[in-house]
Amino acid sequence: MRINLIVSWDKAPAKGRFSVVDGKLANALINIGWGDYDQSTHQFTFTSVDEACRISFAVDGDAENAQSLKTVFKLTDTALPLSVAIRDVLRQPGGKLRLDEARAEITAEIDDWESSGGNVKPKSAVIEEREIKGLPLYKGFTEAQLKQFGGIRKREVLKTEKRVYSSPFMYDNLKVGNFYEIDPTKGIEFKSMDGFITLEEDKPIVGVTVVGSGCVPYGFNICEWWDEGESIDNMKNQLVKRQRVDNLHGTHPSIYSQILMGTFPGLTLSAVTEGQMTSAAQCLKQLSDGYYGGYFMGFYENVANFRPGPPYPRKITIRAGTKLTEDTGTSLERHPGDYAVRVIETTVMI
């Protein structure tokens, strides 16, 4: 019998190893959080331990039915171990069991598709016999669906033009707020998440490109275009009007990098940090998040592309930041780190 398991933690454990008693761990995947999972040893590590995370598993149990199942799912080599009989999870309402001591929740369900060997025959040309908790699986559009949604559509053909804005974004159709500085070399530096550029066009926007870099790695860009009074709680037109691009690891040279590279002869680390740093080795250690994770000399630009709509907005807001701590070990230390934006390009309909 195959069982699908999902383990969700309030905050990611730093490391651990999964195993199964009276069964076999067939597969695993990290689908929320930042980390690595070794399929051969079933050991994992998370690089970010201050946010929620989730791992999905496929487990082959020791019995053909839930009543006889003795399989036990275990997590060891971690600060918050757990051990639970899969049968006990399946017996819970909704197949969910909260483990307070592990600060985690386990969800389990029997994989009917896998257990049947995939030998499922369709009832008709449209609906397959396999159902997920009563939900039919359609192989194609039904006549009723075509009638309900207006029939076969014609593709939308757009004629567009591009418009470009550059730092420090002093334009009459842009509003800029919550930034720390405007640097001629790195652009305008925004406070993570709070900093924003709101851009309003006279024509519908169908594309947005943001060029910039984080102060430290693990950068992200967000583009959103909510209507007045609209939010995730009352969104209209099906589309969540917020998009995010992560894993933007390009950074710009910080003052510490520039001093180490000799960009400013005569300027020392001690002078800049008021004596908190006196040598290159101390600088590298203090500015690291973990083991040199926050000090990254990968100097290149990030390019994030967004596709708003439909319906196409005339007004969008850009936010940005990084997921690591900035200026670690100094009086300026802050989390999350800031982000410098240099160019925004919009594509509008004409």
In the prediction, which pLDDT does 123 show? 36
In the prediction, which pLDDT does 112 show? 67
In the prediction, which pLDDT does 131 show? 47
Residue 175 CB neighbours (<10 A): 14
Residue 160 CB neighbours (<10 A): 14
What is the side-by-side order of every strand in the sheet holding 96-99?
23-32, 53-61, 2-9, 104-110, 96-99
pTM to 2 decimal places:
0.60
Element (H, E) at 144: helix 143-148
Element (H, E) at 146: helix 143-148
Tell me the per-residue pLDDT of 113-159, one tens digit each, with 9 for 90 and over. 655 555 544 333 333 444 455 667 788 888 888 888 888 888 989 99
d(CA 48, CA 335): 13
In the prediction, which pLDDT does 137 show? 77
- Where do the domains of the chain lie? 2-114, 120-148, 160-349
Q: Which residues of the chain have pLDDT under 70?
A: 112-135, 237-238, 290-292
Q: What angle do CA 240, 207, 237 make, to 5 degrees?
A: 30
* Phi and psi at residue 137, to the nearest 5°: -110, 115
d(CA 147, CA 139): 17
Read off the DSSP letter of residue 281. H
Under CATH, which architecture does the 160-349 domain have? Sandwich (2.60)
Under CATH, which architecture does the 2-114 domain have? Sandwich (2.60)
Tell me the per-residue pLDDT of 270-286, one tens digit each, with 9 for 90 and over. 998 888 889 988 888 88
